[in-house]
Structure 1
C-alpha cells in the first residue's frame, strides 16, 4: 500500500510539471503570435467602426474605417474620404480587441490610391507634415514614384481654368493625409 501511494504521488507531480510546461509553451506561442500583428491588422479589426487617428502634424481625424491596406487606411469622415498613410499615425483611439489579417493577394499601395484620385480628377486637400498645419488644395495631375504633382486650386471654389493657381510638386513622404469627397471609389 505504501508503494502505491508513493508512485501515485510521483505520477501526480509529473503530470503537474507536464501541465505547467505545456501552459508555458502555449503562453509563449500566444506572445509570439501577438508580436506579429501589425497596426494594419488592428485597424482591419475595426472595419466599419469609428476611430480617432492623431497624425504627426497634430491633426486628428475621427471617422469610420472603410478600408485598410498595408501602407494606408481610408476613413469616412462626414462627407469626405480621408486617406491616411499608416506611417504618419501617432496613435489611434477606438480600436477594440479584434484583429484581422489582409485577405486576398492584391495589395494596394498608397501610390495606387493616389493614382485612383488622379484618374478620377478628384479635388483633394493634402495635409502636410509640418510644425503648423499646412495644406495644398487641387487636383493630382501626376503620381510619381515618391511625389505627386498637384494643380493647385483656390480655396472654396470648383475646378475651372480660371481658378487654377499653378502646379506644385509634393513628396509623398510629406503627406500626412489626403482628403477628397466621399464619393471617390477606392
Structure 2
C-alpha cells in the first residue's frame, strides 16, 4: 500500500511539473504574440468605443473611434470627424485589452484618405506639428505622395473665389490632425 501512495505522489508531482511547464510556454507564446501587435491593431479593438488621444503637439481629441487603418485613425468628436496620423499620437487613454486585425484587405493610406477629402472639396482644418500652434483652414486642392496643397480660406466664410487667401503646401509628415464635418466619411 505504501508503494501505491509513493507512485501516486510521484505521478502527481510529474503532472504538476508538466502543467507548470505548459503554462509557462503558453504565457511566453502570448507575450511573443503581443509583441507583434501594432498600434493600429490595438486601436481597431476600440472601434465604436470612446477614446482620448493626445497628439505630439499637446492637442487632445476625445470621441468615438470610427475607423482605423495602418497609418491613421478616424475619431468622431461631436460635430466633426478628425483624421489622426498614428505617428503623431503621443498617448491614448481608455484603450481596453481588445485587439483586432484589419477588416479590409486593401489598407487605405493617409494620402488616400486625404484624396477623398480633396475630391469632395470638403472644408478642413489642418493642425500642424510646430513649436507654436499652427492651424490652417481651407479646402484640399491637391494631395501628392508626401504633401498636401491647401486653398486657404478665412474663418467662417464660404469657398467662393473672393474668400480665398492663397494656397499653401504642407508636407504630410507635419500633419497632426485633419478635421472636417462628420458628413465626410472615409
TM-score by length of 2: 0.95
**Which residue is equivalent to 1:117?**
117
- 8 Å CA contact retained: 1:46, 1:65: yes
Unaligned runs of 5+ in 2: none
Cα deviation, residue 32, structure 1: 1.2
Cα deviation, residue 48, structure 1: 1.3
- Could you tell me how far apart the structure 2 residues matched to 1:181 and 1:40 are? 23
- Could you tell me how far apart the structure 2 residues matched to 1:144 and 1:91 are? 28
CA RMSD of aligned residues (A): 1.2
- 8 Å CA contact retained: 1:117, 1:184: yes
How many residue pairs match? The answer is 186
Deviation string 1:10-60 (CA, Å, 9 cap, x unpaired) is 222211111111110111111112222221112111111111110011111
**Which residue is equivalent to 1:141?**
141
Cα deviation, residue 83, structure 1: 0.2
- 8 Å CA contact retained: 1:117, 1:140: yes
**Which residue is equivalent to 1:64?**
64
Deviation string 1:90-141 (CA, Å, 9 cap, x unpaired) is 0111222211111131100100000000000111110000122211111111
**Which residue is equivalent to 2:5?**
5
**Which residue is equivalent to 1:129?**
129
Unaligned runs of 5+ in 1: none
**Which residue is equivalent to 1:152?**
152
